[in-house]
Amino acid sequence: MSESELKDTQPTPLTTDTQPNPVAPAGKKNFPRWLAVLVFVLLIAIGLLGGYGSGMGRRYSAQDTLVSGQLQEQFQLGVQAMNAKQYEVAKQHFDFIIQNAPNFPGVQATYADLLLRMQITPTLTPTLTPTITPTPDLRAAEEIYNQVVALLSVSATSLCERDWDGIISTLDSLRKASATFHTAEVDGMYYIALRSRGICKIYPQAYQPDTPCSDLNINLEGGIYDLTLAERFGDLDAQAESLRTYARLYITGASFWDQDWQQAQNFFLQVKSAFPSLADSSCDTATERWRYTTIKYAEQILATGDICGAQPQFIDAFSVGSSRNEPYYPTATEIANQCGEGVGGGSPSPAATPTQTPTPGPSPTL
């Protein structure tokens, strides 16, 4: 059998169309449609939530701004009410702020100030139902008032001859009997009595020049205190204010005694220029104190070796005639010889006899 015949007798191979389909690779699976839908829904939800949160943030911010404005308005109203002494109204405003914002700037300090004012200032409680009260018995107050008028009407040759202690004591009794009896008139009486007593404690020699200083009961601190009390009832006049000022300067100058002679000299020079006879309970006038401090300052300069620098101080001190200058004449004369000038234009002359009582200065017009 030939080769061609043999090929014709072989079975015919199956075609590829009858072979099963090849299996697809595992990595090529299709993406589930339901999962894509779920992702899409989640994205929409996230967008909605973001927009809601942004809107609520703006809403809260606007609300905070509104509340802050309300709190500021309440604070201002509270301060205005407090300044107008409407303390209960002010307290309501501040209570609202503290309840809503305890840390609001300034509210704690202002609220504490308000409570302090409410404690020291009596609050008038309005009476809703009028009540009938008996007429107070003012006969005792009237009697005491007439006593004060009589004391003020007593004739006196000088201001300090009046019994100011008795007048003030009687006024105190009147106020205890009735705090509202003739209020304006009694306040005026207090002013006159306290002012006058204060002046007489500070500068009595202006009215009683012949009285020994030890009998004048000078009391600078007490006089200053009386004038300060009088100031509660009215402004001090220029003369009373001047006396109080120079009394304070006198006390200040005395505080530098034996400590700083130059400072003491400066203060007593000011007092001497206005009230040369102003003194304290020691009866040393401002003039005498200035003379002594000037000599002590001259000695202080002399101790430094500045001989001629001490000379003007001795000359100034010797301008006040006093026998107390005599112990310093030899030193001053020696200085004058070395510096080529006489003390006071010439040799020291005997000083005048020392005065036992303060020499009255210009009497203030009161």
* pLDDT recorded at residue 257: 95
Residues 113, 124: Cα–Cα separation, whole Å:
19
Choice among 63-77, 231-245, 296-310, 331-345 with the minimum mean pLDDT: 63-77
Q: Supply φ then ψ for residue 285, to 5 degrees.
A: -70, 165
d(CA 140, CA 177): 7
Task: Give the end-to-end CA distance of the chain in Å, rounded to a whole number.
Answer: 175
Contact 216, 160 (CB under 8 A): no
- Mean pLDDT to the nearest integer, 292-305: 95
DSSP 324: G
d(CA 322, CA 343): 15
At residue 265, the pLDDT reads 96
pLDDT at residue 24, as a whole number = 46
pTM score, whole prediction: 0.57
Helical axes 286-303 vs 307-318, angle rounded to 10°: 170
Give residue 270's region: left, alpha or beta (phi > 0; psi -120 to 50).
alpha
Q: Between helices 107-120 and 87-100, what is the axis angle to 10°? A: 150
Provide the token pair at 336.
């004058």
